[in-house]
Structure 1
Amino acid sequence: MRTLFCKPTVFERFDRESFRRRLSDHVRRWGIAYLLLIVAAALFQAHYAFGLNASPSLPQRFFLIHKGELPLRGQYVAFRWPGGGPYPAGVTFVKIIAGMAGDAVTRADREFFVNGMPVGQAKTTSRMGLPLEPGPTGILPAGRYYVRAPHPDSLDSRYRLTGWISDAQIIGRAYALF
């Protein structure tokens, strides 16, 4: 029961018919915009994704991934981690393509080269003190890529754990946003 000096409660002020009318007006005014926004989001998600590089392996942290676009040498690639080591299978990694099919990957001691150009030195242990085995060497076969990052602690193709990535692992080309 309301007294003369009390404000009406939310339930007392609620007018169901007024609410329906306002909702109907809102849907008529903004319904098409909401529908277009949902369609645009679905189309975006079908072709693009966002990637976050949580480690210091690359200078950039946030990437736009164009799904299905195969990157060229020197470009960023987003791929699914195959599993093993500190990461579960399916985690998205972003690295730089350093070697492609037909390129020669060689190693002198722990220094790796692609077509004679240095691409990084493999460490003997990880930052956590775990032993690291050097990655494969030889001619990259079709559908295989040597990936790298400029940081000395990057988990890339210098190590057996990562190895050469395959076409099946590639999500697409990654574009650095910031």
Structure 2
Amino acid sequence: MTETHTHWRLWRLPVVLWWMAGYLAFTKVFMVTLNLTDSLPGTIFLIDKRTFPSLGEFVAFRWENDWPYPRGSIFVKRLTGIPGASVTASDRRYFVDGREMGFAKEYSKTGVPLKPGPTGVIPKGHYFVSADHPDSIDSRYALTGWVADDQVLGQAMRLF
């Protein structure tokens, strides 16, 4: 095998992935995003802007806070509560219609106090999002709260 051939084999997958990401980024239908945390399984997600996810599927949305990520960052979480669902908390354990969503920690990994997220009936145009990872910043925390319609980008699908 020639050195040039070996060199191309090493770069083929990254080149194809970046080409796909570039193509998809310039369409108005799809986006590609990277998951930089351990909160979800997967690293690369395709966002279909035409499709709103069903309960239990991945949803992509824009982050509305300035901490700990920049405003406008793209987040992917599982859609676990829809308008009309009941969100309750007991000793910082969160439930959506009786299904446990996890424990809301009192402090972040860096020691910053974390306020618990909202409870009650999820209003029209809002959603509860979550992930199984104990350090996931999701609707269990006031930082994220309930995600509004205007934050939602579409359904996210794990590619890699």
| Superposition RMSD in Å | 1.6
Q: What is the distance in 2 between the residues matched to 1:44 and 1:114?
A: 37
1:9-158 matches, within 5 Å, as 41=23, 45-158=27-140
In terms of fraction of residues, the more helix-rich structure is 1
> Which structure 2 residue ranges, 5 or more long, are not aligned?
1-22
The 8 Å contact of residues 24 and 31 in structure 2, kept in 1 or not, is answered as no
Moved segments of 4+, more than 6 Å: none
Of stretches 67-76 and 156-165 in structure 1, the one that deviates more from structure 2 is 67-76
Decide whether the 8 Å contact of 1:84 with 1:161 is kept in 2. Answer: no
Aligned to 1:168, what secondary structure does the other structure show?
helix
Q: Which has the larger radius of gyration?
A: 1
Q: Is the 1:156–1:162 contact (alpha carbons within 8 Å) kept by the matching residues of 2?
A: yes
In the TM superposition, what whole-angstrom CA distance separates every residue of 1:49-93 from its partner, at most 9, and x where no partner exists?
A: 101110000011110000132111100000000023211110000
- Equivalent pairs counted in the alignment come to 139
TM-score (normalizing by structure 2): 0.83
* Equivalent position amino acid for 1:61 in 2: T
Identity %: 49
Q: CA deviation at 1:143?
A: 0.7
Match of 1:11 in 2: none
Contact residue 25 and residue 32 of structure 2 kept, 8 A: no
TM-score w.r.t. length of structure 1: 0.75
Task: Say whether 1:176 aligns with 2:158.
Answer: yes
SS at match of 2:27: helix
